[in-house]
């Protein structure tokens, strides 16, 4: 996976703050505080990139933060770069796993590869969280 940095804009929204990504229409987030909105933007971006890759959608390259024009109708609070891992092409693997574990996966998942990929993402996120703490 390649790391990408997409520009995001935090704006006032009612009693909280929303985040949108000018390069990725439909990718938004929200938080009660600007900090919470920024943290939630990471999750929104990860999800958007993952779903786009699963559907084979082309993703726009990230714009330079300074190239994004200001919209006078947006009550802009901050601009930031949000980092995410851009999913790559699927790679076929041959792995060995306990047959009971495979059977347990098959009972709860329609797609074994998808299940294992998601489990790996969760485990990697947890490890990153521990390392940054």
Q: What predicted TM-score, i.e. pTM, was given to this entire model?
A: 0.68
For the beta sheet containing 16-20, the strands, ordered from the edge strand earlier in sequence to the opposite edge, are 28-31, 16-20, 2-13, 76-86
Q: What is the pLDDT of residues 52-91, one digit of tens each?
A: 887 778 888 899 999 999 999 999 999 999 998 877 777 7
State the virtual CA torsion across 112, 117, 122, 128 in degrees, nearest 10. Answer: 150
- CATH number listed for the domain at residues 1-88: 3.30.160.250
Task: State the Cα–Cα distance between residues 55 and 100, nearest whole angstrom.
Answer: 31
């Amino acid at each position: 996976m390649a790391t990408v940095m997409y520009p995001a804009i935090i704006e006032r929204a009612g009693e909280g703050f929303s985040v949108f990504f000018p390069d990725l229409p439909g990718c938004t987030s929200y938080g009660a505080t600007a900090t919470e909105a920024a943290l939630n933007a990471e999750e929104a971006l990860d999800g958007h990139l993952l779903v786009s890759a699963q559907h084979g959608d082309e993703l726009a390259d990230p714009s330079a933060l300074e190239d994004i024009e200001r919209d006078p109708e947006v009550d802009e609070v901050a601009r930031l770069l949000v980092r995410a891992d851009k999913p790559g092409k699927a790679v076929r693997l041959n792995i060995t796993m306990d047959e009971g574990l495979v059977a347990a996966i098959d009972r709860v998942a329609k797609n074994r590869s998808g299940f294992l990929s998601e489990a790996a993402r969760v485990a990697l996120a947890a490890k990153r969280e521990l390392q940054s703490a």
